[in-house]
Amino acid sequence: EVQLLESGGGLVQPGGSLRLSCAASGSTYRSSAMSWVRQGPGRGLEWVSTISESGVITNYADLVKGRFTFSRDNSKNTLYLQVNSLRVEDTAVYYCAKGQYYFDLWGRGTLVIVSS
């Protein structure tokens, strides 16, 4: 069974950047599309991005398009979310989740706080 562990969150100023990571374990990881979903105060759950099994295809929510980049390194069983030009409204717990459309396994999340 796949297990997911996020890291890389923290406090960052508006306009700053972070790289979030998600370490995956389990035999089905490499055959699974993966996603990031965030949960911010006052915004509820919000889908951010999805990446295909190979990493060739990515999709982004309009709110993050052009600022966030989702990638994966299947040799390291790790997913990355590069988040640039951060805004206060990007403050949230960022969850790594297994699945392309609905999400059948979630990590524990990493907290990103954007504040001056």
Partner 1 sequence: EIVLTQSPGTLSLSPGETATLSCRASQSVTNNYLAWYQQKPGQAPRLLIYGASGRATGIPDRFRGSGSGTDFTLTISRLEPEDFAVYYCQQYDSSRTFGQGTKVEI
Positions that interact with partner 1 (CB under 8 A): 44-47, 61, 95, 101-109
Shortest distance, position 103 Cβ to partner 1, whole Å: 6
Q: For partner 1, which is the closer residue by CB, 11 or 45?
A: 45
Could you tell me the two tokens for 94?
A: 């960022």
Q: Are 37 and 103 in contact (CB under 8 A)?
A: yes
Could you tell me the two tokens for 57?
A: 């295809």
Q: For partner 1, which is the closer residue by CB, 45 or 113?
A: 45
Shortest distance, position 35 Cβ to partner 1, whole Å: 8
Shortest distance, position 13 Cβ to partner 1, whole Å: 27
Residue 73, class by beta-carbon neighbours within 10 Å (0-12 exposed, 13-18 middle, 19+ buried)?
Answer: exposed
